[in-house]
Amino acid sequence: MPFRAARFYAGKRVMVTGGLGFIGSNLAACLVELGADVLLVDSLEPETGANPSNIDPIRDRVATRGVDVRDALAMERLVADRDVIFNLAGQVSHLDSMRDPFTDLEINCRAQLSLLEACRHHNPSVKVIFAGTRQIYGKPDYLPVDERHLLHPTDVNGINKMAGEWYHVLYNNVYGVRACSLRLTNTYGPRMLVKNNRQTAIGWFIRQVIDGEEVQLFGDGSQLRDFTYVDDACEAFLLAGASEAANGEVFNLGGPEPISLRDLIELLIEIVGHGSYRLVPFPEEKKAIDIGSVYADFTKIQRVLGWQPRTALREGLERTVAFYLEHRDQYWSDRTAEHRTLNAEVGARP
């Protein structure tokens, strides 16, 4: 990261929504190292990616609040004294959004509007960086997908994430609440959810291969994807937060190069040292929202902010597998009881 951007966060009061989740916790660790005053906000819902273990290395160096972003009054208080907000809280399961569209609407759309309203009325000088998604492009018309591509999402999650993103752009353009969006694409790495397949396919693949289970790969496995290692994604967030050139913009992230899902599984099996996979037909509910091959053009963020992915896929997967082999107990189980205990503890803090 450029020295100027790294210096920017020293002493800054930073809030991370979804701060006990995958990207949020990794970002929090980076912010702590840069000298920021870090507040983590998370609802700690057991079915999300929030995991108390995610912040074990920095637990004594951050403040944590067990607050749902849908709690408008609580968010008004929390945004009031922050310099930068990394807005990562969201519902990311595509299938869950189809089964329960109204909850997805509340979290990914209405809650985003409430947060921005809180900023407009109680802290209009704050900088907000939103975690968007490449899912809003839907089935691509051309590859690689750039920011000028039409938006035609194929599921409820994509529609609500699209609306949440454009609320941020609107509040930047109309109300002067400086905001931008990073359109994430298949972020992976330590601390991602692997206890089920509700969020990331790659997380579930890693767990299955480590456990020696047969991976079921839908279709013929030729679908192309690009993958962003979490450290690279965190760098993009930090650069966007430190740069005025990002205000009002949307940026694609991406990976070093696309790879087929079949080749991805074979690489994982090679790294772990065992495993197998089988090609199976798409279930109807997944087939209806499948987008085929998709990978991103990240030329814009490279030009404007100087970001590009630095971690090769093999290196990132090796680090990720090593992390889960060392910390298996913290990520394989549900840990619902611990979620509830921690939620009560942080909710009671002043």
**pLDDT reading at 118 higher than 50:** yes
How much is the pLDDT for 289? Answer: 65
**pLDDT reading at 263 higher than 90:** yes
Instruction: Tell me the mean pLDDT in the region 252-262.
Output: 97
- Running DSSP on this structure, what letter comes out for residue 132? E
Structural domain boundaries of the chain?
Answer: 3-187+227-254+295-310+334-348
Instruction: Tell me the mean pLDDT in the region 193-201.
Output: 82
**pLDDT reading at 329 higher than 50:** yes
Alpha-carbon distances of 160 from 31, 77, 118, 124, 125, rounded to whole Å: 28, 25, 20, 24, 26
- CB-CB contact of 227 with 259 (8 Å): yes
3-187+227-254+295-310+334-348 fold: Rossmann fold (3.40.50)
What are φ and ψ of residue 2, in 5° steps? -55, 140
Cα–Cα distance measured from residue 320 to residue 203, given in angstroms and rounded to the nearest whole number: 9
- Running DSSP on this structure, what letter comes out for residue 320? H
Mean pLDDT over the full length of the chain: 91
**pLDDT reading at 334 higher than 90:** no
Identify the bridge partners of residue 102 per DSSP, sorted by sequence position.
none
Torsional class of 198: left (φ above 0), alpha (ψ -120 to 50), beta (otherwise): alpha
Identify the bridge partners of residue 250 per DSSP, sorted by sequence position.
181
Q: Which two tokens stand for residue 45?
A: 């819902």
**pLDDT reading at 282 higher than 50:** yes
Is residue 190 exposed (0-12), middle (13-18) or buried (19+ Cβ within 10 Å)? buried
Is residue 141 exposed (0-12), middle (13-18) or buried (19+ Cβ within 10 Å)? exposed
pLDDT band at 288 (very low <50, low <70, confident <90, very high): low
